[in-house]
Amino acid sequence: MEKKQWTLVNAENVVPYVCDETYSSKQLTGDEMAGFPVININEGTLKGGCRTSGGAHENTEIYYIVEGSGILWLDEDSVPVKPGDIIIIPPHVFHWIDNTMNKAPFKLFTLWPQQEQNDVYFVRKNAWGTSMKYVDPEYLRKRMEK
């Protein structure tokens, strides 16, 4: 079995893709950057006073709340969430985040089995030619040398 090289990524070194004036997205892990299949982790930041439009997906998503508090809507259920909460969203459940009651940003990690399950993955690829960008393009090489 071929031994794969490990990779260390710090979210501060990943360039956010600004989806619109309310939401930005950073792909932190994915097959493209690792060079082999990995779980996709995306860092999403929703500005205070805003909400997402929502959607339902074919596959399970997992949300890990990192910063801020808000309301996660799952079909007709409203669930107050705060840092440290993990929410497992089954396939086909319409969900969205409400941060309209807060001035502070709401930050979460979303986990998928495959990077292609994240719609913004394709938007980033079309805009940048890659699924993720580093603040310093030599970031990974420098980390690996240490």
- Looking up residue 92, the CATH number of its domain turns out to be 2.60.120.10
Instruction: Count the Cβ atoms, other than its own, within 10 Å of residue 49.
Output: 13
In a domain? residue 130: yes
In a domain? residue 43: yes
- Residue 138 pLDDT > 80: no
- Residue 119 pLDDT > 60: yes
Q: Give me the pLDDT at residue 146, please.
A: 56
**CA–CA distance, 95 with 77 (Å, rounded to integer):** 9
Q: Give me the pLDDT at residue 143, please.
A: 58
Task: Render pLDDT for 59-116 as a digit per residue (tens, 0 to 9).
Answer: 999 999 999 999 999 999 999 999 999 999 999 999 999 999 999 999 999 999 888 8
Task: Render pLDDT for 8-53 as a digit per residue (tens, 0 to 9).
Answer: 888 999 999 999 999 999 999 998 888 889 999 999 999 999 999 9
| CA dihedral (131, 95, 108, 103) positive or negative | positive
- Give yes or no for a contact between 129 and 25, defined as CB atoms under 8 angstroms apart: no
**What percent of the chain has pLDDT above 90?**
68
- 137 or 51, higher pLDDT: 51
The encoded tokens of residue 81 equal 């969430």
| Number of independent structural domains in the chain | 1
In a domain? residue 102: yes
Q: Give me the pLDDT at residue 33, please.
A: 83
In a domain? residue 82: yes
Q: Could you list the residue range(s) of the whole structural domain that residue 112 is in? A: 18-139
* pTM of structure: 0.88
